[in-house]
Amino acid sequence: MEFKNILVEKQDGLGYVTINRPKKLNALNKDTIEELHEAFKMLEEMLDVKVIILTGSEEKAFVAGADISEFAHFSVDEGKELARKGQEILFNYIENLSTPVIAAVNGFALGGGLELAMACHFRIASENAKMGLPEVSLGVIPGYGGTQRLPQLIGKGKAMEMIMTASMITAQEAKEVGLVNYVVSLEELVPLAEKIAGKIMRNSSVAISAAIRAVNANFEDGINGFETEVIAFGDCFGTEDFTEGTNAFLEKRKPKFQ
Ligand code: COA
């Protein structure tokens, strides 16, 4: 697939996905959502890609939301379909990838933009970043998982306040409430993501994907996360990475995971 709205690169075990519609502050239109799905699917299938870094082009925006011009005239059914399809092909899809995805939030992350960052496995931000869910100011609510993931990440009370007031918070405030893990200058943002990715890449990809599955199970309806953990833990014992990791420890050497 040829990408028009995003840039995709691969280097040294890292996949880079950059949303690239700067004139529209990287707003997520239908084509961009579909391209992002294809890009993540492609990178997930590349076994030499160990971590994916998602960011926005230029310095103003990560993503300023879903593209308002595309849905302003939608009917009730079209609205439901927009949210359902988006959740399925992009937001839930990213959350459930086996490959860790780090959101490097480089500016405005609003509405669908913050929801996209929240679907990633964790987030870091630059000092200029601003985050919020402004949907109620447009007469709608977050539809790409925001009402679920924001309370999971920062607690119900603060999430309710952010959603009801439609206000933005600064990167520093986002760090204080646990929405992002680190705040650095814009120049340091991608290098920090690469540094963290480097630490992740030293570990077993097979074990990391099992850990993602087990952590996510905590938030799935009708699933017993502890039981998911038991099974995923046990399955690790049958992997080459487990043999290598434990042998390397006992032999006092660094593991070489496949
Ligand atoms: N959907 C569609 N277009 C958007 C957009 C969105 N979510 N966010 C920004 N844009 C477009 C603007 O319409 C403008 O396009 P134009 O130059 O063709 O008029 C361009 O991006 C630049 O945005 P602009 O509003 O002029 O920049 P600003 O610096 O004055 O304000 C924001 C920046 C982020 C505060 C403002 O763009 C904004 O509020 N965006 C919408 C945020 C939102 O409600 N998102 C949730 C959607 S559900």
Residue ID of nearest Cα to ligand 1 atom 40: 64
In this predicted structure, what is the pLDDT of residue 253? 97
| Tokens at 117, concatenated | 């960052």
Given 78, 135, 176, 227, which residue is catalytic?
Answer: 135
- Summarised one tens digit per residue, pLDDT across range 153-181 is 999 999 999 999 999 999 999 999 999 99
Taking the complete model, does pTM exceed 0.85, yes or no?
A: yes
In this predicted structure, what is the pLDDT of residue 88? 98
What is the spatial distance between Cα 166 and Cα 141, in angstroms, rounded to a whole number? Answer: 10
Does residue 240 have an active-site annotation? no
Query: Radius of gyration (Cα) for the chain, nearest Å?
Result: 19
What is the spatial distance between Cα 218 and Cα 118, in angstroms, rounded to a whole number? Answer: 16
In this predicted structure, what is the pLDDT of residue 258? 84
Stated as kind and residue range, the H or E segment containing 227 is helix 225-236
- Tens place of pLDDT for every residue, the chain, 258 residues? 899 999 999 999 999 999 999 999 999 999 999 999 999 999 999 999 999 999 999 999 999 999 999 999 999 999 999 999 999 999 999 999 999 999 999 999 999 999 999 999 999 999 999 999 999 999 999 999 999 999 999 999 999 999 999 999 999 999 999 999 999 999 999 999 999 999 999 999 999 999 999 999 999 989 999 999 999 999 999 999 999 999 999 999 999 998
Q: Is 166 in the pocket of ligand 1 (CB under 6 A)?
A: no
What is the spatial distance between Cα 19 and Cα 1, in angstroms, rounded to a whole number? Answer: 16
Contact indicator for 126, 174 with CB cutoff of 8 Å: no
- 1 DSSP assignment: -
Given 115, 187, 188, 251, which residue is catalytic?
Answer: 115
> Which strand ranges, in their side-by-side order, compose the sheet holding 61-63?
61-63, 108-110, 130-132, 169-170
Q: Is 113 in the pocket of ligand 1 (CB under 6 A)?
A: no
Residue 154 CA to ligand 1 centre (angstroms): 26
Does residue 88 have an active-site annotation? no
In this predicted structure, what is the pLDDT of residue 221? 87
CB count in 10 Å sphere of residue 177 = 16
What is the spatial distance between Cα 236 and Cα 218, in angstroms, rounded to a whole number? Answer: 19
In this predicted structure, what is the pLDDT of residue 77? 98
What is the spatial distance between Cα 37 and Cα 17, in angstroms, rounded to a whole number? Answer: 11
Contact indicator for 257, 203 with CB cutoff of 8 Å: yes
Pocket test of ligand 1: the residue of 19, 25, 26, 130 to mutate, having most ligand atoms within 8 Å of its CB, is: 25
